[in-house]
Structure 1
């Protein structure tokens, strides 16, 4: 059931469950709802899996192996489980998932307001008219509004600027060097994409950690799955709830998968700086923390290797031993200013993440920073849930890997509410 709406309709429609968001999280809970015979609608303001279609660059690929694509009722069935699906393959996987169970999608419908009703349930005002739902699952994820610093306003119009979500390929950028700001997964992979295309890249290095790709003969994802790390709930994690604020480790699935070592890029000619600080006149200023940020990324890299070593030793597993890691490059000095005109920088890519946008949600479920308050997706407001948030329960919560497990957990709570109403 794939319905499209071109305009508002009259009358209030009543549904047991409303799901807001048609990405992998919304589709996962819809699968469970259909399996349990619970009527619902999935509201998607654009098209199902839209972020994968419209907000990824051309060479984008997964950083986790294909076997971790295990949406409910639809595990990866291809011939390359250890590979990394490209953007178009990811979209095809999600399109096939939709076709496999025909969810009640309302595409092109924007939920403009959601609020609890005094008598119970919720009111949804949408671009296709008003709805009332007994329960609501918010599956819009945690990344809605691209972050671009106000300092960007001080760059002249002659320097093209775009957020990482709008980057597609090196050819879309004007001639000249490129400044990439941010070294999370997107920033590092975009910097590599430009570097491999022969562009001169200047990279403002942040505090993101990095990860090995293969260690002691196996993909690191396999080791961490087997050792149980990916099954650790955030409540049991040594960092507790602060783990939800961690930046993802950078690495890539490109060309069969490899780790990203920014020091190696520097040896090959990429220019590295500390964190972006400001724009003053014709200069971009950086914090004097490049060495520290590189060292901390390496500390995370080595900690992962050490944890695998401990697991191998504890289980008595025979695995090849690798030589100690030796940095291939060290910054000779902290460069804190760059004249973008002299450097010939023609474009800047801001890759410093997103912030959430819940202005449309009028419910007392947020903390002082505007983040959802929940336990495994269940909020203090009866019948209101979140799904697909980073570290909602485990490392894989916001990913193909474990969003289905989180959906199953919410399904139990939804069914309980349905049973209470029936009683």
Structure 2
């Protein structure tokens, strides 16, 4: 016979901001639990590139029991500073078991509770909270599959800095915050950069003496629920293009073009050393400008509602949208793919029907509809747009901890 499985009432999987916030809220309610972390608390932040910073100002770090209290609330923490903040948080909570990866999770035979398989042991739990983060697996689109094998293809978790790439020009595939930030870093370092663009909104970093995030947080923007989106797939839409690097600055297609980045339509395919693009760059830029106008209108509404001076926000200037549809990649050292992330839940959670066609958990108020007592926290758009963010995950953690506490109280 093997070792007797450990019995734990509540297990939280993952010690990032979602898992730690949930642990804090469970502790406040007197719910005994443990947090299992494959590496160290906050370690996922260390997997980002060297110069990575938060895009939201430091004061938006509003985790329950661990808000930002430093001397630079308007600054932007580096990846190591965020990880350090979360490690200190975990130390105060005292519930985290580090170096304990969960390889498999399945319902117990006969119903009621779950079995978690880790390295060399099995844990049984009445309740499980999956808090493994919003960014689990970089998406690598089929369009890059035909790239010549001697050209490096690096995803957003594999990129570290310009010097880490082979010599030569770089094709950046993507349009969100990460793609723009990496493209900017590369071109500033002296690389020739081509960018395969997708549709993403943009807006100035600061207007009317306030940061973009402050305007949006004063609006209903981050309160948007999944049912208010145009389609379920819209949950994968790109965030507003911006950067927190070097104190925070404007970053979008126009600033990149001014630096010398060559903009193309979206990538259709790569055949060896030939990349083909859709002739849709004008439509891509127009879509981004429509996003700009939406955010501008939101800012104006906030200013009027709060009695603030309405800032002057000029229309975007012209941008040359003529672009070839084919590019010879000879002389290119690398392709950097930054096209977003997808979930991994179905790879290790053995529950049929767990996720929808987009890979998001099928749930009601964070609890799986097909697996009672299996909860999720930290999922993008779980309850609202802010569900996975450092200023929003705490509310979801509170709701989930309250639900679990009430359920356990009724069962005793």
TM norm structure 2: 0.93
How is 1:302-341 mapped onto 2 (pairs within 5 angstroms)?
302-322=293-313, 324-331=314-321, 333-341=322-330
Residue number in structure 1 paired with 2:333: 346
Give per-residue Cα distances to partners, 1:33-90, cap 9 Å, x unaligned: 222222212112222212111x211110001011110111111000111111111211
Residue number in structure 2 paired with 1:276: 267
Are 1:363 and 2:351 counterparts?
Answer: yes
Q: Distance in 2 between matches of 1:337 and 1:210?
A: 26
Give per-residue Cα distances to partners, 1:157-184, cap 9 Å, x unaligned: 3312211111111111111111111111
Whether the 8 Å contact between 1:263 and 1:330 is mirrored in structure 2 is no
Q: Distance in 2 between matches of 1:111 and 1:94?
A: 20
SS in 1 for 2:92: helix
TM norm structure 1: 0.91
How is 1:189-338 mapped onto 2 (pairs within 5 angstroms)?
189-235=181-227, 237=228, 239=230, 243-322=234-313, 324-331=314-321, 333-338=322-327
Shift of 1:193: 0.9
Q: Distance in 1 between matches of 2:26 and 2:306?
A: 40
Whether the 8 Å contact between 1:146 and 1:163 is mirrored in structure 2 is yes
Residue number in structure 2 paired with 1:390: 380
Distance 1:313 1:153, change over 3 A: closer
Distance 1:12 1:65, change over 3 A: same
Whether the 8 Å contact between 1:267 and 1:329 is mirrored in structure 2 is no
What residue ranges of structure 1 are gaps of 5+ in the alignment? 1-8
Q: Distance in 2 between matches of 1:26 and 1:254?
A: 27
Whether the 8 Å contact between 1:264 and 1:328 is mirrored in structure 2 is no
Shift of 1:374: 1.1
Whether the 8 Å contact between 1:215 and 1:305 is mirrored in structure 2 is no
Distance 1:153 1:245, change over 3 A: closer
Q: CA RMSD, aligned part only?
A: 1.9
Give the number of aligned pairs. 407
Q: Distance in 1 between matches of 2:145 and 2:283?
A: 29
Q: Distance in 2 between matches of 1:120 and 1:178?
A: 52
- Aligned partner (choices 89, 104, 107) of residue 98 of structure 2: 107
Q: Distance in 2 between matches of 1:416 and 1:170?
A: 51
Q: Distance in 2 between matches of 1:183 and 1:405?
A: 29
Whether the 8 Å contact between 2:41 and 2:83 is mirrored in structure 1 is no
Distance 1:26 1:288, change over 3 A: same
What residue ranges of structure 2 are gaps of 5+ in the alignment? none
Whether the 8 Å contact between 1:143 and 1:355 is mirrored in structure 2 is yes
